[in-house]
Amino acid sequence: MKNQNQKYVFPINIKPGQTYFSDANHKPFLWLGDTCWRLFWEYTLEEAQTYLENRAKQGFSVIQVQLLPQYFHQCNRRGHKPFLVEGNLHSVNPIYFDEVEKVLQYGKKLGLNFAIAPIWLSSWEQDWYQYFHGQTVLDYSAFVAQRYCHLDNIIAWIHGGDDDALSLHSTIHQSANIYKQVNPNIAATYHAGISGGWEFFGDQNWFDFGMAYSYDKDDCFKQFQDFKSRYPDKPILLGESHYEGNEGISTDILRHYAYSSLILGNCGHTYGHKDIWMGTMFWAQSLCSAASHHMEVAKDIWDQLDWSKMQPDFKGRWLQTLRSKMPHASSKPIPTSININRNELVAYISDFRWFRSTQPVHKGKWIDPISGREKQLNWLEEDTLQIPGYNATGHTDWLLYLELKEVNK
């Protein structure tokens, strides 16, 4: 394991052939995102600054936001609408977009990047959906792309929304091309419905990385596997999933998604809290939630890894569950990745199954994803492992780090 300096040089983007983001000096950049979709209109400038200061201190590196309010007629907290005439995308209100820049600039001072959805498409609400057509929306795309092209802490444009928007694909493609033409250094992706958007746009020149969207752990694994099989030279991360604060969502569920994304995507992960993305009256007291602390721990662990050179294992090649020892053990794959050059293996294991490494182990350790504390390996037999009991909060998920004697490639 190694120690990394956490200072990055803007802009952050994807270099050709890389499966991760890197800074201007080619240093690998870990995308640890937070969804604050409504930051630009549900938060005052002072509240936005407080929020950004907290997330920067916690180690988050990317804030995912929507540029426009939920509805056309909606104002920000300072009473300004993005457009002066109802239903007219040409009637931009410069004050609204200037106030957005103040937030973006403040985030830059803190070292934060922004992944921005220029216009969020949702058939549930139908508001922006009905205006996304014709030359008008293309003119709006050109305005936004040019308005913020001088900012080097916009890491990505997120096209689409929480709908596949099948009828709008032609216009989405034209719009995305405009953003790419204005500033080709800003990465772009497509946020689809409960799926990955690469099946629609993955082969387009403007599509730079995958953004998975899933509320099912098994489906999440399949999405990463599908993307890597189609686009092995492009990054992917889990861009939206279960939110902390939603009924029935425990912190161990959120950790499972986080480590699955970090290990299988090898690019980053995005966390979210219901009260923060919605900007409810409880947003401030939700800043120091349990799961946000667990994301800090994950960031600290990953900063010690040469993670950009890790390769995911979707076929169970490196760790094998010993069902002969425990016939009722889970047959689900263990999220695992390996750095062949350094003989390092990292895996996330969340049950009491018995398993073994298919390669001889030099040394290793367990890492508690709650506290970051380490424990020695507990060999059950000569080559058999099992998690070392319960972690700091009484759950059964652990991170495994192994240094292998050799790797049979």
pLDDT given for residue 4 in this prediction: 40
Structure pTM?
Answer: 0.95
Tokens of 164: 């596949």
**Which residue, among 249, 252, 167, 264, has the nearest Cα to 212 in the 3D structure?**
264
> pLDDT at position 2, please?
43
Which pLDDT score, from 0 to 100, does residue 124 have? 66
Instruction: Give the sheet arrangement for strand 62-66, strand by strand.
Output: 187-191, 154-160, 113-117, 62-66, 31-35, 268-272, 236-240, 210-213
Query: What ranges do the domains of the chain cover?
Result: 21-308, 310-404
pLDDT for the residue numbered 115: 98
Residue segments in the chain with a per-residue pLDDT below the cut of 50: 1-5
DSSP letter string over 9-61?
A: -SPPB--TT-SSEE-TT--EE-EEEEE-TTHHHHS-HHHHHHHHHHHHHHT--
Q: Which CATH class is domain 21-308?
A: alpha beta
Distance CA 236, CA 207 (A): 11
How many residues can be counted in the chain? 409
Q: Which two tokens stand for residue 223?
A: 């999405």
The SS3 call for residue 178 is: helix
